[in-house]
Copies of this chain bind each other. A is one copy, B any other.
Amino acid sequence: MAETIGFIGLGSMGAPIAANLLKAGFAVRVYNRTASKADALVKAGAQLVSSPADVAQRAGIVLTMLSDDRAEEEMCLRESSFVEKLGPDGIHVAISTISPDTARRLAKHHAEHQVHYVASPVFGRPEAAASKRLWVCTSGPAEAKKKVQPVLAAISQGIFDFGADAGSANVVKLCGNFLVASAIEALAEALTLAQKNGVKQADVADMFGKSLFAIPVYQGYGKQIVERRFDPPGFRLALGLKDIKLVHETAASSATPMPLASLLQDRWLSAAAKGRGNLDWSAASLGVAEDAGLK
């Protein structure tokens, strides 16, 4: 009989990930605040439950994909949570992007219920989630990581292990989002320089996407910036700003000066202040153009 996996959080990332678990042969019990978002999954075979605790079975595995630190904390620390239900030897795999400190706090909390916390934030947009091309960074107790390996393998193209500390995988996830946001800022400045000096942005983006920077990060964002195509969002700017703030806070609490992260925070704050929170997060590039007097 198929192993049952609990899954909480069916947003634009969570839904396709849960679908991949079904495809891989797992039985999946799902919970979402807005139940209607589970319709397609239920058709595909998932079982919809009406309380978050009900996704869990003793000593089982539960994945959560929630929007931020507070959502994860509320889900885990509430009365009669799924964590208590998981009981001894259960495993909570948090694939949300949250701060390393929150991850460590949750791991400590879970330990009181003898539940293992495995941090497993993922890289990739919804379409990458749908096509099983996510990248996972993971950290937590070795035994638990071993048990959830098939689950993570079912939703990703690669898993990278960062040891036992619950916070480590989240540090790496923040590093990655920081690198991507840095590439967006760099592209925006380079393409603005080109335009202000009479060189076609599209030609520049095309060249770098085919030569030195032939990877989706540069190709995709380069194209979006050139075409100013930020709607519908692949990753909402308001969420991207949240992640950049997490980078910045983690830097501040570890006494790590990161002037580029500071620059990014100011750039994305400005985009939010200008009302661009619901556009794709690469819309922060508009600020570069505006600062240069371009419309």
Contact = CB atoms under 8 A, between A and B. Distances in A.
Interface of A: 100, 123, 135, 137, 158, 160, 162-163, 165, 167-168, 171-172, 174-176, 178-180, 182-183, 185-187, 189-194, 196-200, 203-204, 206-208, 210-215, 217, 245, 247-248, 250-252, 254-263, 265-267, 269-270, 272-275, 287-288, 290-293
Contact of A273 (B100, B172, B250, B255): B255
Contacts of A272: 255
B273 A193 contact: no
Contacts of A190: 175-176, 178-179
Max chain B CB contacts within 10 Å: which of A175, A176, A273?
A175
Contact of A255 (B210, B211, B256, B292): B292
A212 B217 contact: yes
A205 to B, nearest CB: 10
A265 B261 CA distance: 12
8 A-B pairs closest in CB distance: A273-B293, A262-B262, A182-B186, A257-B266, A255-B273, A175-B190, A160-B207, A135-B211
Contacts of A287: 291
A245 B262 CA distance: 12
Contacts of A179: 186-187, 190, 208, 212-213
B196 A255 contact: yes
Contacts of A213: 179, 215, 217
A161 to B, nearest CB: 8
A163 B172 CA distance: 42
13 contacts: A123-B211, A160-B211, A168-B198, A171-B194, A175-B191, A179-B213, A182-B182, A189-B259, A193-B258, A212-B217, A245-B252, A260-B263, A274-B293
A219 to B, nearest CB: 11
B211 A158 contact: yes
A9 to B, nearest CB: 23
Nearest to A275: B293
Contact of A259 (B100, B193, B266): B266
Contacts of A254: 193, 196-197
Contact of A189 (B123, B198, B260): B260
A164 to B, nearest CB: 11
Nearest to A293: B273
A262 B178 CA distance: 16
A213 B266 CA distance: 25
Contact of A207 (B137, B185, B196): B137
